[in-house]
C-alpha cells in the first residue's frame, strides 16, 4: 500500500476503507523501491483504518535522502533501528522487511542480520540500542500530486532552512549530523534550542563519502523535532540525520 493515505486513494487503493469494512486483516504501508521511507504517517493510517486491522510499516532495503542521491546504499542495523523505533512509536503493530535477504540483496552490515531480526520488531527490544534517524523521502505519488522531498536544500549566506523528522522514544547522547557541500553553518537548533558544534566525523555506511558535520543535541531528544539551520555561506545540504542510543 502506498505510504500516504491520499496517495493510495488517488491510485485506486483505499486500504483504510478495506480495513474498516473487514476485507483485510493486515495492512502494510510501504514505499515502492527507491528508498526506505522514515516518515510514513502511521498514526493517520491508524485513525483512518480503525483498530481491527494489523498495521505494518514496510521498510525498503535502500536508503537515500532524495531520488538522485548517489551512490546507492543499503540500510544498516542502526538505520533500520531508527526507522523501526519511530514507526512503531507512531502506531505500527509490525515491521515488514522488504529485500533484506542473506545474499544478493542484503543490508550493509550483513553480520548484524540476526540482531536486526531479533530487535527491530518491537520497541521493547530496541531500548538502549544505538540508532540513526535519516531524513528520506516518499518515492510514490499519484499523477499530478506534489512529490515529497526535503532534500537537497540550496542555501544562501544568512538564510535559515528547516528540516522536520521524527526520532521515536527518547535518545541519549543525541547528535545531529549534516552532509554539506560548499556550505558552512553559522547556527543550528533542535526545536529552538541552540546546539553546540562537534566537528567533522566519518559517516560510515550508509552515509556520505565526504562525511558529516556534527552538532551535539540537547537532553531529551524524542518524538518530533525541527532542525533549524542558519547558513554562514552559500551551498547545499544533502543529508540530515539524528543519531543516538
> CA-CA distance, 202 to 118, in Å (whole number)?
28
Task: Give pLDDT, residue 75.
Answer: 98
- How far apart CA 86 and CA 89 sit, in angstroms, is 5
Separation of alpha carbons 239 and 100, rounded Å = 23
pLDDT of residue 191: 98
| pLDDT of 30 | 98
Residue 231 CA to residue 237 CA, distance in Å, equals: 10
- What distance in Å separates the CA atoms of residue 84 and residue 167, rounded to the nearest whole number? 10
Q: Please, are residues 74 and 101 in contact by the beta-carbon 8 Å criterion?
A: no
Kindly report whether the peptide bond that precedes residue 71 is cis, defined as omega within 30 degrees of 0: yes
The whole-number pLDDT of residue 148 equals 84
What is the rounded distance in angstroms from the CA atom of residue 42 to the CA atom of residue 48? Answer: 10
Report, as ranges of residue numbers, the positions in the chain whose pLDDT lies below 50.
Answer: none
Q: What pLDDT, on the 0 to 100 scale, is given for residue 119?
A: 98
Quote the percentage of the chain above a pLDDT of 70. Answer: 100
pLDDT of residue 241: 99
Q: How far apart are CA 91 and CA 245, in angstroms?
A: 21
Q: From residue 201, how far is each of 71, 162, 182, 195 by CA, in Å?
A: 19, 22, 17, 16
Q: What is the pTM of this model?
A: 0.97
Amino acid at each position: 500500500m502506498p505510504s500516504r493515505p491520499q496517495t493510495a486513494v488517488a491510485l485506486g487503493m483505499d486500504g483504510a476503507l478495506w480495513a474498516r469494512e473487514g476485507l483485510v486483516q493486515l495492512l502494510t504501508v510501504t514505499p515502492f523501491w527507491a528508498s526506505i521511507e522514515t516518515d510514513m504517517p502511521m498514526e493517520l493510517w491508524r485513525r483512518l483504518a480503525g483498530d481491527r486491522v494489523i498495521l505494518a510499516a514496510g521498510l525498503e532495503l535502500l536508503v537515500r535522502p532524495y531520488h538522485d542521491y548517489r551512490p546507492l546504499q543499503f540500510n544498516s542495523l542502526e538505520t533500520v533501528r531508527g526507522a523501526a523505533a519511530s514507526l512503531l512509536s507512531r502506531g505500527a503493530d509490525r515491521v515488514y522487511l522488504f529485500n533484506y535477504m542473506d545474499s544478493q540483496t542484503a543490508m550493509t552490515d550483513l553480520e548484524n542480520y540476526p540482531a536486526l531480526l531479533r530487535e527491530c520488531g518491537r520497541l521493547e527490544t530496541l531500548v538502549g540500542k544505538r540508532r540513526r534517524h535519516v531524513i528520506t523521502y516518499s518515492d510514490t505519488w499519484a499523477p499530478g500530486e506534489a512529490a515529497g522531498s526535503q532534500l537537497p536544500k540550496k542555501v544562501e549566506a544568512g538564510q535559515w532552512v528547516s528540516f522536520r523528522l521524527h526520532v521515536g522514544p527518547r535518545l541519549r547522547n543525541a547528535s545531529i549530523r549534516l552532509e554539506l557541500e560548499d556550505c558552512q553553518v553559522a547556527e543550528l537548533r533542535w526545536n529552538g534550542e541552540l546546539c553546540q558544534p562537534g566537528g567533522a566525523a566519518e559517516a560510515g555506511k550508509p552515509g556520505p563519502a565526504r562525511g558529516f558535520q556534527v552538532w551535539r543535541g540537547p537532553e531529551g531528544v524524542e518524538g518530533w523535532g525541527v532542525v533549524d539551520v542558519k547558513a554562514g555561506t552559500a551551498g547545499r545540504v544533502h543529508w540530515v540525520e539524528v543519531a543516538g542510543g
